[in-house]
Amino acid sequence: MALNPYFQQGTTNEQNLVQDLINEQLRMYGIDVYYIPRKYVTQNTVIKEVIQSTFDDAYPLEAYVKSEVYEGAGILLSKFGVQQQDDITIIISRERWETYIEPLITNEANIKLATRPKGGDLIYFPLDDRLYEIKFFEYALSLIHI
């Protein structure tokens, strides 16, 4: 079986085509969410603990929900009260992040990292009126675990 002679396997134009197809898929099958970056107001310098944060801005972004149902431990009753331990995985476009969100938050004060989403930032789902905290971000695939 031979490779397709019409594709060069990795040229810039082919990579742009694949990225455009990914962006189109996200717009067709994804949902609108809002990315809310965490701004550090007060931080303990010894143990790097964040004492006070603000969430002032929200940026619309399209995302694909990878998990069909909420995963995780569900609702737990602990000595601290009722805790909701649901988590989901969403996929965002790296190109959309780099061209839309990163330029908006690069020069913002008190934002530690603008090149990717980070733990502690929030994602708001307006469809079901829920707010999630980002726990982990996988840069290779642009997966956000919240």
Distance CA 72, CA 134 (A): 14
Pick from 96, 95, 91, 93: which is nearest to 12 by CA? 95
Q: Look at residue 73 in the predicted model and tell me its pLDDT.
A: 54
Give 124's pLDDT tier (boundaries 50, 70, 90): very high
Does residue 110 surpass a pLDDT of 60? yes
Over residues 65-78, mean pLDDT: 63
Does residue 90 surpass a pLDDT of 80? yes
Q: How far is CA 52 from the centre of its chain?
A: 22
Burial (CB < 10 A; 0-12, 13-18, 19+), residue 109, is exposed
- pLDDT tens digits for 22-37? 888 888 888 899 999 8
Does residue 142 surpass a pLDDT of 60? no
Q: Look at residue 69 in the predicted model and tell me its pLDDT.
A: 55
- pLDDT tens digits for 33-70? 999 988 877 767 777 676 788 888 899 988 888 766 55
Kind of pairing, strands 81-87 and 89-91? unpaired
**Mean pLDDT score of the chain:** 78
